[in-house]
Chains A and B, each alone.
Chain A
Amino acid sequence: QITLRESGPTLVSPTQTLTLTCTFSGFSLSTNGVSVGWIRQPPGKGLERLALIYWDNDKRYNASLRARLTITKDTSRNQVVLTMTNMDPMDTGTYFCAHSPSEYRGYSFDYWGRGILVTVSS
């Protein structure tokens, strides 16, 4: 059974750096073709894909946010970490991590975490 869980601060100040951790079980991020992504959703709005990391450490970033994002993995700890610098109130929203199996090649996500609501405010 695949599960993912997001953790990190729920309140950050403007200009701070946000660090979120996705801890997962039920799969290995060393398995050929598997990837984990981060997706966010501002309150009452649509989804936005942020970053994706593949089993072989290949990384993909949202082009408009690329300068602010870093995604890394710790395969031995079953964790994926996302950092986003220079946080702004517009970055307020729920942040999800999600699993993409090899057959989806990172284009779709079949298992999602419950999400973590991050508020950016002074």
Chain B
Amino acid sequence: QSALTQPPSASGSPGQSVTMSCTGTSGDVGGYKYVSWYQQHPGKAPKLIIYEVSKRPSGVPARFSGSKSGNTASLTVSGLQVEDEADYHCTSYAGGNNFLFGGGTKLTVL
């Protein structure tokens, strides 16, 4: 199974909104509700910011939102802040014992 497709980079200015995509197939993103997003700062462990497509764990700001349309999941960060600059990884359940990750999107806050 191939990895999920994420654009390598994205950018925005403070206060703006940016949306990052995660494209899979009907056998993973499109077929299940188990899409998660992780934020990872350099040298740090990933942090869960979205699970089950659009749910936010306790403590994650409402500026982070997730959605899905067909085989593509999206993460939107609204009201960009400097501290949002990080890598963002998507992952999806793919049936059986299979989970796929994307290659990650590096978000730059200009």
Chain A residues engaging chain B, CB cutoff 8 angstroms: 39, 45-49, 60-63, 96, 98, 104, 107-110, 112-115
Contact = CB atoms under 8 A, between A and B. Distances in A.
Interface in B10-55: 34, 36, 38, 44-48, 51-52
A46 B46 contact: no
Contacts of A63: 96-98
Band of interface residues on B: 20 to 34
B48 A108 contact: yes
Nearest to A64: B1
B89 A47 contact: yes
A62 B94 CA distance: 11
Nearest to A96: B45
Contacts of A45: 103-104
Contacts, number: 53
A20 to B, nearest CB: 15
Contacts of A108: 34, 36, 48, 51-52, 91
Given A49-B91, A107-B52, A112 B98 contact: no
B97 A61 contact: yes
B3 A46 contact: yes
Nearest to B102: A46
Contacts of A112: 45-47
Nearest to B98: A63
B64 interface: no
A60 B89 CA distance: 21
Given A104-B51, A109-B48, A48 B97 contact: no
Interface in B63-110: 89, 91, 93, 96-99, 101-104
Contacts of A60: 97
B3 to A, nearest CB: 7
A61 B97 CA distance: 6
A85 B52 CA distance: 33
Contacts of A107: 34, 36, 51-52, 93
Nearest to A97: B45
Contacts of B103: 45-46
Nearest to A109: B48
